[in-house]
Structure 1
Amino acid sequence: MSAATTTELVHAYRRLLRAGLRAVQFSKPSRSTVTAKLREGFRDPGAKFDPERVRRTVWFLNAAAQQRGLEHRIVKNLCRVHWERAREASRTAWRLRVRHDEAARERKEGRKKDPDVIKGTEYEHYERTIAMLNDSMGLCLR
């Protein structure tokens, strides 16, 4: 596969953006989610451009825009999870300070807290599912 030209990338970005915004019906929290994920995907230096995957993703997003079927629910849930993760990340600084204070208090009192084995792996299954969906259908959803 040859390297993509700038115009091909711009056209692909615009097609995906238009189809994505139609799929979420220009709703306020979802449209910012779609734009953020699309920018993240196109700015990723390790990402590979595949025009066939872009074409199939545009078809998928157009199907999500046309009727409230499985495609619409998938896009809706992708936006919701991304929004929740961003919201969680924005509150992390406060949470870390509280946890740090709690840990200091526990050390002072002599109590030990069990390490959280789930922390950092909450979205592993979700990300694998999206990767398998992309592989099986030839899409480039994030």
Structure 2
Amino acid sequence: MAAAAPATTELLHAYRRLLRAGLRAVQFSQPSRSTLTAKLREGFRDPRGTFDAERVRRTVWFLNAAAQQRGLEHRILKNLCRVHWERAREASRTAWRMRVRHDEAEKNRKEAKKKDPDVIKGTEYEHFERTIAMLNDTMGLCLR
């Protein structure tokens, strides 16, 4: 039996609770604040995403605990924000370099085709994503 879709007001309240708790947890610091809002928007705009009120409630508890003291929750959230910020920065930097150095990139692509494909390329964050997924499953959270 499929669960009923949540009401729009329920989604809106969940978004606002997560945003408020998250901003308090990162103490409104600039790189973390923009990363947090971007990931939260991405999560709520995901068409494949599911809504679980209990997971949202536990995540708000987690974020409130991160805001209250500099314990384990604070360090986890700090590292999450840092990794997502670095990934976004890395992606934007790569795209910029590709536009500026188009000829050099084309040359590198031709050389890469000649060599063996790099098996590590594209799997740098696989372990990180699995760890976050296991944390979410064991604690009933919805961190991204």
Structure 1 length-normalised TM:
0.90
Question: CA–CA distance in 2 between the matches of 1:48 and 1:29?
Answer: 27
- Give unmatched runs, 5+ long, in structure 2: none
Alignment-derived partner of residue 42 in structure 1: 44
Aligned length: 138
Alignment-derived partner of residue 101 in structure 1: 107
Question: CA–CA distance in 1 between the matches of 2:117 and 2:98?
Answer: 16
Question: CA–CA distance in 1 between the matches of 2:98 and 2:82?
Answer: 22
Are 2:88 and 1:86 aligned? yes
- The match for 1:26 among 14, 25, 28 is 28
2:35 alignment partner, SS class = helix
Alignment-derived partner of residue 60 in structure 1: 62
**Share of identical aligned residues, percent?**
81
- How far apart are 1:68 and its partner, in Å? 0.3
Structure 2 length-normalised TM:
0.89
- Give unmatched runs, 5+ long, in structure 1: none
1:91 alignment partner, SS class = helix
Question: CA–CA distance in 2 between the matches of 1:33 and 1:63?
Answer: 19
Q: For 1:34-53, what per-residue CA distance to the aligned partner results, in whole angstroms no more than 9, with x for missing partners?
A: 00000000000011100000
RMSD: 1.8
**Matched residue type, 2:42:** E
4+ residue runs of structure 1 moved beyond 6 angstroms?
none
- How far apart are 1:15 and its partner, in Å? 0.2
Question: CA–CA distance in 1 between the matches of 2:137 and 2:128?
Answer: 14
**Matched residue type, 1:7:** T
- How far apart are 1:116 and its partner, in Å? 1.1
Question: CA–CA distance in 2 between the matches of 1:29 and 1:50?
Answer: 28
